[in-house]
Amino acid sequence: MPGISSDLGKLKQSLFGTPEWALQRIRKAKEKKYTELNLSNSEPNEKLVKFPEEIFELPGLRVLDLSGNLIESLPESLSQMQNLTSLFLNGNPA
């Protein structure tokens, strides 16, 4: 049933936006001014299906790990993150 759980995760994120677990990590990174953020995930029902726009609130971010999610494309505006030097996307469909 892996297909069903990933479909449920996609539906949930499209209805409600970025999952709460990811928002919590992004908020903490913003508050603490982290330069690295790990949003990799192995939970089948909680995978990111799109790039979280909230990441653009982290201008000092240098390393971003989005491994193990269901992200199929990246926004063109990602190129505006001038400090980002490493982006990990292992285990995503595209």
Higher pLDDT, 94 or 21: 21
What pLDDT score was predicted for residue 78? 95
Does residue 1 surpass a pLDDT of 70? no
For 13-33, what is each residue's pLDDT tens digit?
444 589 999 999 999 999 999
For 36-53, what is each residue's pLDDT tens digit?
999 998 777 889 999 999
Question: Model's pTM, two decimal places?
Answer: 0.82
What pLDDT score was predicted for residue 70? 93
Output the DSSP codes for 2-65.
HHHHHHHHHHHHHHH-S-HHHHHHHHHHHHHT-SEEE-----TTS---S--GGGGG-TT--EEE
